[in-house]
A and B are shown apart, each in its own frame.
Chain A
Amino acid sequence: MTTTVAPTSAASAPPGKSAGKSGRPKAAKLFRMLPLSPAIGLMLVFLAGPIIYCLYAAFTNMALTGTGAANVKFVGLDNFRKAFGSGAFTNAIWLTLVFTLISAIIGQNTLGLGLSLLMRRSTKVVRNFVGTAVIGAWVLPEVVAAYLLSAFFNDEGTLNVMLHAVGLPGQDWLYAAPIIAVSLANIWRGTAFSMLVYSAALSEVPKEIEESAEMDGASGYRRLLFVTLPMISRAVMTNLMLITLQTLSVFGLIYAMTRGGPGTKSQTLPLYMYEQAFSFSQIGYGTAIALVMLAIGAVFSLIYLRGLNSEAA
């Protein structure tokens, strides 16, 4: 599911150039729209179409088998009532929030920022080496990454071997702490994105400002907190928004590593939705959960967008 909400550029366009004042005949304007029509048509069919269908299905009892397959009926808010009354659903919401908080907002975000700050000060060799390693994890296809990481976290996997080597007890990570394991996996995989965004943003920060802060006696920590971070705050917000939305909808990584299990211990919303819709055949209920996910994504986006706008003001 893609729920990327781009900040609208129309709002920032200069008012003088807005349409409708030029006095051209309408036909000419329509004619100018003509080349766009195939693109608009495609968007309507392939982007708006499924979304509208999803909106419809969420309020029905649509299913792959049984009564819901023969005659699809409107059931009003039943699917949502069922969801919010169900322990499995609340468990999934909770796990989704934990997963997003640990792996995106804390893990990828701070690690990405940290790496890009360190890389700014390091030599070219180190920079290239670290950059290649981190981006390598990001370039790997999701299923390959998931496979590597399940080998890493496995009972007899690399992590436990390393822990045993230094005399620490290991555990079956994928079984005992699956949500931690998949969160770490997602950090491993997604940090590169944050690192790239922050590297780009930091390269725009003029050296002079930091130097003058240094002259004024600001320590490294204070320079970061009061000079560097405020200057890249827009990048922080944009990055947070993007990685939050990406992480909310992570499916393949978790499915390939744990299938949401054991039990429901790593069953985030996308996995719960998949199970209900495609393993248990409840398409209507599954799409209702998809809508809830959309809503959660929208709430996060709104928060970040507000953050962006207040920075801009």
Chain B
Amino acid sequence: MTRKRFKAAAAMSALLLLAVSACSQGSTTKQPEAGSSQSAGPAHIKIAYQQWGPGVVMKNFLTGVKAEYESANPGSTVEILPIVASENDYYTKLQLMMRSPNTAPDVVYEDTFLINSDITAGYLRPLDDYIKNWDQWGQFEDTAKGAAKALDGKTYGIPDGTDTRALWYNKQLFAKAGLPADWQPKSWDDVLSAARTIKEKVPGVIPMNVYSGKPMGEASAMQGFEMLLYGTKDTLYNNDQQKWVVGSQGFKDALNFVKTVYSEGLGPSPKQALDPNMGSKVGTELLPGGKLAIALDGSWIYGNWQKTGAKPWPQWTDVLGQTAMPTQDGSGKGKVSLSGGWTWAIPAKSKNPDAAWNLIKTLQTQKNAAKYATDGAQIAVRKDVANDAGYKSSSKSTQFFTDLVSVTVYRPAYAEYPKVSNEIITAMEAVMTGQSSPDDAAKTYDEAVEGIVGKDKTTQGQ
């Protein structure tokens, strides 16, 4: 027998085998047991999430859930779709996929800041009919339930955690600079003077990181800018008047802070800061490497240093301290934090919404929710997870960041917010690179916001 014929025969038999196994699988599939969770029948479900940098927590979590779902629903398959893209590109790619039934995933991971915009776009399916019969929904905190509720009163996403933001600082570097191990800054000036001390006494390290500029997308807007702005007397949005704030002194002050950090060399070089990988660099290189003294960052970054994380670093609990970001001059509550979070949602053009919902339920069993909250370094949004012993003991910082919930602020995540956010990061980048003065950048922002929401929906700040 010639090689060629042998190959052909092998290919044929392989094909046959495949077909046979597919048939047998179909015919011998056990009817799903009667009950709520498995009524959808076998289906191929695609689940999309963002994969950027070396993090593997979500990938591992989804791989576990996939196995669990597939063994509970014989015949069904779960396809994990990692969308490899930086912050802004992820949303773009996801939106393009959700536009067509041919490419729409069945379950998508949506940031709460964007979800209202995507709901307005008609990309997502309301989940109320499913939630109605779901016994777990009562476990969710009310604020979390509201995270993915649209103006039409319907809920479009199931939150899997929230977060708060504060200052992380390296106690070893602080000791070298003669700064206290129990650092409690009371105002922006305290923060800046600590950074100046580091710069002077510990050369070779970056004194402070404040995310800034377009490449870091929403991280710049939220961890960077809004953590500053909400410490002034101004905000982005006036809830009483239901209008966007323009022309505020707080906006200029926040930009001035950014300018000070980058022009005095208290931060990374603007070029470093404009690297789209800056987020994972801070978590996996700069902080663990002792190259960064103060980081204005999220509650979740210790997820990088756990055994399951991208850069296991057990010593972090001793090396790093956490302290709340102070308000501009210590007034108000004295400290500030912002909260966001992500949700699981079902695109309107998904072909298997019922199966997708079953997958979300599997993602959100108490066990899986607790696992993700622990590995993903989330702040729990479920009461049963918040009381879970494993979760509570998972990290030394959990309690600190959970306590910040009492001062935390949510973004005005209306449909226009993503556009406004883009203008914020454009203004930041103009200021940090020295292209515009804070006043000019604020003026450009004001004009842009008036263009986005309409002049009648804006109000003057203080």
Name the one of B270, B415, B448 contacting A175, with C-beta atoms under 8 angstroms.
B270
Contact with A along B112-126 (1 / 0, CB 8 A): 001001101111000
B457 at the binding interface (Cβ < 8 Å): no
CB-based nearest A residue for B89:
A279
Name the one of B117, B270, B448 contacting A66, with C-beta atoms under 8 angstroms.
B117
Contact B271 A66 (CB under 8 A): no
A150-176 contacts to B (CB < 8 Å): 155, 172, 174-175
Task: Report A-chain residues with C-beta under 8 Å of the C-beta of B114.
Answer: 65
Task: Report B-chain residues with C-beta under 8 Å of the C-beta of A234.
Answer: none
CB-based nearest B residue for A88:
B426
Q: A82-B451, A88-B426, A263-B429 are in contact. Are A69 and B95 (CB under 8 A)?
A: yes
C-alpha spacing A65/B93, complex, angstroms: 11
B381 at the binding interface (Cβ < 8 Å): no
Contact B426 A265 (CB under 8 A): no
Task: Report A-chain residues with C-beta under 8 Å of the C-beta of B419.
Answer: 66, 280-282
Contact A65 B433 (CB under 8 A): no
Name the one of A68, A69, A174, A280 contacting B123, with C-beta atoms under 8 angstroms.
A69
A67 at the binding interface (Cβ < 8 Å): yes
C-alpha spacing A64/B274, complex, angstroms: 25
Contact B120 A67 (CB under 8 A): yes
Contact B121 A69 (CB under 8 A): yes
Contact A70 B120 (CB under 8 A): yes
Q: A262-B271, A264-B430 are in contact. Are A64 and B214 (CB under 8 A)?
A: no
A94 at the binding interface (Cβ < 8 Å): no
B29 at the binding interface (Cβ < 8 Å): no
CB-based nearest B residue for A155:
B271
Contact with B along A240-265 (1 / 0, CB 8 A): 00000000000000000001011111
Chain B interface SS verdict (over half): helix
Task: Report A-chain residues with C-beta under 8 Å of the C-beta of B99.
Answer: 64, 69
B86-107 contacts to A (CB < 8 Å): 88-89, 91-92, 95-96, 99
Contact B214 A66 (CB under 8 A): no
C-alpha spacing A278/B114, complex, angstroms: 15
C-alpha spacing A68/B120, complex, angstroms: 9
Task: Report A-chain residues with C-beta under 8 Å of the C-beta of B270.
Answer: 175, 262
Smallest CB–CB gap between B414 and chain A, Å? Answer: 10
Task: Report A-chain residues with C-beta under 8 Å of the C-beta of B317.
Answer: none
CB-based nearest B residue for A265:
B435
B418 at the binding interface (Cβ < 8 Å): yes
B157 at the binding interface (Cβ < 8 Å): no
Task: Report A-chain residues with C-beta under 8 Å of the C-beta of B448.
Answer: 86
Contact with B along A56-92 (1 / 0, CB 8 A): 0000000111111110000000000010001110000
Contact B274 A70 (CB under 8 A): no
Contact A281 B418 (CB under 8 A): yes
B422 at the binding interface (Cβ < 8 Å): yes
Task: Report B-chain residues with C-beta under 8 Å of the C-beta of A65.
Answer: 91, 95, 114, 117-118, 120-121, 123, 418
B187-216 contacts to A (CB < 8 Å): 213-215
C-alpha spacing A66/B435, complex, angstroms: 30
Contact A66 B121 (CB under 8 A): yes
B403-444 contacts to A (CB < 8 Å): 415-416, 418-419, 422, 426, 429-430, 433, 435-436, 444
Task: Report B-chain residues with C-beta under 8 Å of the C-beta of A175.
Answer: 270-271
Name the one of B213, B422, B444 contacting A280, with C-beta atoms under 8 angstroms.
B422
Task: Report A-chain residues with C-beta under 8 Å of the C-beta of B274.
Answer: 259, 261-262
C-alpha spacing A169/B288, complex, angstroms: 35
Smallest CB–CB gap between A275 and chain B, Å? Answer: 8
Contact B433 A262 (CB under 8 A): yes
Smallest CB–CB gap between A192 and chain B, Å? Answer: 31
Contact A66 B418 (CB under 8 A): yes
Name the one of B120, B422, B433 contacting A261, with C-beta atoms under 8 angstroms.
B433
Task: Report B-chain residues with C-beta under 8 Å of the C-beta of A66.
Answer: 117, 120-121, 415-416, 418-419
C-alpha spacing A66/B151, complex, angstroms: 13
A291-308 contacts to B (CB < 8 Å): none
C-alpha spacing A263/B431, complex, angstroms: 8
Task: Report A-chain residues with C-beta under 8 Å of the C-beta of B444.
Answer: 87
Contact B92 A278 (CB under 8 A): yes
CB-based nearest A residue for B271:
A175
CB-based nearest A residue for B276:
A259
Smallest CB–CB gap between B103 and chain A, Å? Answer: 14
Task: Report B-chain residues with C-beta under 8 Å of the C-beta of A282.
Answer: 419
C-alpha spacing A122/B270, complex, angstroms: 47
Task: Report A-chain residues with C-beta under 8 Å of the C-beta of B418.
Answer: 65-66, 281
Contact B92 A281 (CB under 8 A): yes
Task: Report B-chain residues with C-beta under 8 Å of the C-beta of A279.
Answer: 88-89, 92, 214, 422
Name the one of B96, B215, B271, B430 contacting A64, with C-beta atoms under 8 angstroms.
B96
A26-75 contacts to B (CB < 8 Å): 63-70
C-alpha spacing A174/B422, complex, angstroms: 24
Contact with B along A158-198 (1 / 0, CB 8 A): 00000000000000101100000000000000000000000
Smallest CB–CB gap between B416 and chain A, Å? Answer: 7
Q: Beyond A66-B418, A261-B274, A261-B433: 4 further Cβ-contacts under 8 Å?
A: A67-B120, A279-B92, A281-B95, A282-B419
Closest 3 CB pairs of A and B: A69-B121, A263-B435, A263-B433
Q: 30 A-B residue contacts at CB 8 Å?
A: A63-B121, A64-B121, A65-B118, A65-B418, A66-B415, A66-B419, A68-B121, A69-B95, A69-B120, A70-B122, A82-B451, A175-B271, A259-B274, A261-B214, A261-B274, A261-B429, A261-B433, A262-B270, A262-B433, A263-B436, A264-B429, A275-B214, A278-B89, A279-B88, A279-B214, A279-B422, A280-B88, A281-B91, A281-B92, A282-B419
Q: Which A residues lie at the B interface, using CB under 8 A?
A: 63-70, 82, 86-88, 155, 172, 174-175, 259, 261-265, 275, 278-282
